[in-house]
Amino acid sequence: EADIYQTPRYLVIGTGKKITLECSQTMGHDKMYWYQQDPGMELHLIHYSYGVNSTEKGDLSSESTVSRIRTEHFPLTLESARPSHTSQYLCASSVTLGVAGGGPSGANVLTFGAGSRLTVL
Amino acid sequence: GDSVTQMEGPVTLSEEAFLTINCTYTATGYPSLFWYVQYPGEGLQLLLKATKADDKGSNKGFEATYRKETTSFHLEKGSVQVSDSAVYFCALSDSHRDDKIIFGKGTRLHILP
């Protein structure tokens, strides 16, 4: 069973509104990620965190911000939404190699949430 | 830098047909290789993985073999079902470097009854 939850699943808002997409995981994973998925399906890493109080920007520039105050929680915020922010946002987590659950194989396996589909009018 | 290239879709097949989705990679280290699947309206989920050369990952009738000599990790299934219709992503991560996951662009698969 997937133990990573995203809310809301769907959101339609007007331009200029502030929104926060929530992501929580109950697996104790130290690594968490946000991906933006365009209509062509391609995934773009926009933020990641390797632990509490650690956040980094990903490969795709994004106007969103993230925070990691607790291990289980990794919210994404847009201060002023625009139509160009319309997209599917996927949150994921993974366990550090060598930690229980990471396995002897050393593979960094992601667990994804169901996604948040944002539409900005 | 590291990269993943997979065949473009959409791929349309009839039920019970044989499936191959090609995936090749470029990496300077010793990556682990993955296939993830995304069903309509859902997030991605791990389908199978292989962590070293000649390993074969398998799950739900799907298989992929880590071929270091051809830098490939092609996904195969002998007899597809309508329920296999989804988007498939090939990916790699290198635990000896920054451990970041690199995804291919995805291949949409349609299975006709």
- Put simply, whether B89 touches A (Cβ < 8 Å) is yes
- Supply the pLDDT for residue B98: 62
- Supply the pLDDT for residue B97: 61
| Mean pLDDT on A58-74 | 92
Is the predicted pLDDT of residue A101 greater than 50, yes or no? no
Pairing of strands A10-13, A116-120: parallel
Chain B residues in contact with A42 (beta carbon < 8 A): 103, 105-106
Q: Report whether A43 contacts A37 (CB < 8 A).
A: yes
| Mean pLDDT on A19-45 | 93
Please give the structure tokens belonging to residue B81. 């079902």
| Mean pLDDT on B59-77 | 97
Rounded distance between C-alpha atoms, residue A57 and residue A7, angstroms = 22
Strand-pairing partners, residue A78, are: A19
- Put simply, whether B113 touches A (Cβ < 8 Å) is no
Digit-coded pLDDT (tens) for B31-61 = 899 999 999 988 999 999 998 899 999 999 9
Strand-pairing partners, residue A35, are: A45, A90
Chain B residues in contact with A106 (beta carbon < 8 A): 32, 51, 95
Q: How many helices (H) and strands (E) does chain A have?
A: 0, 11
Chain A residues in contact with B21 (beta carbon < 8 A): none
Q: Report whether B102 contacts B28 (CB < 8 A).
A: no
Residue B99 φ/ψ region, left for φ over 0, alpha for ψ in the -120 to 50 degree band, beta for the rest:
left
Query: How confident is residue A5, by pLDDT bands cut at 50, 70 and 90?
Result: very high
Mutation test of the interface with chain A: which of B38, B101, B103, choosing the one with the most A Cβ atoms within 10 A?
Answer: B101
